[in-house]
Amino acid sequence: MKLKKVFKYLIIILICALCIGGIGWGLSKYCANKNENVTTKKTKEIHSQKLNLVCVGDSLIYGEQDPTHKGGYVYLVKQKLEQHYDLKVSTYNYGKTGDRTDQIEKRIKNNSDIQNHLKKADVITMSFGGNDLIQVLQKHFNVLMDNQLSKIMPQQEKKYANNINSLLQCIRKYNTHAPIFIFSIYNPFYVYFPTVSALQKYTNQWVEITKNAIKDVPKTYLVNVNNRLSQGQYLNHDQTKLKQDSKMNLENLSSAEIQNKLNDKYELNDYLSANDHFHPNLKGYQYMANQLYQKMMQHKNLWLNSQTTKR
């Protein structure tokens, strides 16, 4: 029963995080955030390669909880690209907090602006899957115990894989040439509850499903941020003390103590926001931008002109 209470509070926190994020997104009406590029020298503008970066997905695309309110990693990777190469990058942010894969696809099909920008995209970035997993956990809360949920997951995983395939086919309908870089999901509660193995288990499985779904899709690549954003500063360190200090002894923790732990305004993971314990903070978005930049560099022949010079 203790473990079930933990899961219950985790699901509540996840839903609250999405609801709060949805309000912020609603105010912005998910308009494409066009980052204007100011070039002072006209001669420089002539020689600069123009790059259209189109970003479609959920709250990680939108930049939820970015303290600078500039669009999370999207703005940061634009800055990084222009800093290192003679590029003029235009970004178009179509992230919406709370969207599942099927909802993202529906939004693309119903939004001519997204379609038109996809057609002109030189690079496409995406984030999806977290809300799909949350929906599964919420719907099957009564069987959320690890050994019971495992009976349900194969069917849900197959559905998720089919949704990924359908979404990517939708994207490729409008653009067949641009490389697609897809961010993995992560477990925002690992640092708080490292001994609750079910959450990390299904997070890892979701990442593998995404990896397998795209492995045969041309010019489509996974940007895996799961380990760092899940484990934060504890990645590659001995986590024995973390597990000891987590106070996750289900025999002793009361429901009130669990709730207080989740409502704490101090975030234990250095890469996540203290506001909702779910989305990245500035450090987290900087990590995402760096990982995306590295992956883009590995495949720069697909989007970077050979004549474009380094700064």
- The domain segmentation of the chain, as residue ranges, is 2-302
Phi, psi of 222 (to 5 degrees): -95, 130
**What is the pLDDT confidence band of residue 46, given thresholds at 50, 70 and 90?**
low
Query: What is the C-alpha to C-alpha distance for residues 242 and 236, in angstroms, rounded to an integer?
Result: 12
Q: What pLDDT, on the 0 to 100 scale, is given for residue 199?
A: 84
Average pLDDT score over the chain: 85
**What is the pLDDT confidence band of residue 18, given thresholds at 50, 70 and 90?**
low
Query: What is the C-alpha to C-alpha distance for residues 189 and 58, in angstroms, rounded to an integer?
Result: 19
pLDDT tens sequence across 134-181: 999 888 776 665 567 888 899 999 999 999 999 999 999 999 999 999
The answer to which of 54-58, 91-95, 208-212, 252-256 has the lowest mean pLDDT is 252-256
Is the pTM above the cut of 0.95? no
Among candidate residues 279, 246, 230, 207, the one with its CA nearest the CA of residue 60: 279
The alpha carbons of the chain give a radius of gyration, in whole angstroms, of 20
Query: What is the C-alpha to C-alpha distance for residues 126 and 165, in angstroms, rounded to an integer?
Result: 13
Is CATH 3.40.50.1110 correct for 2-302? yes
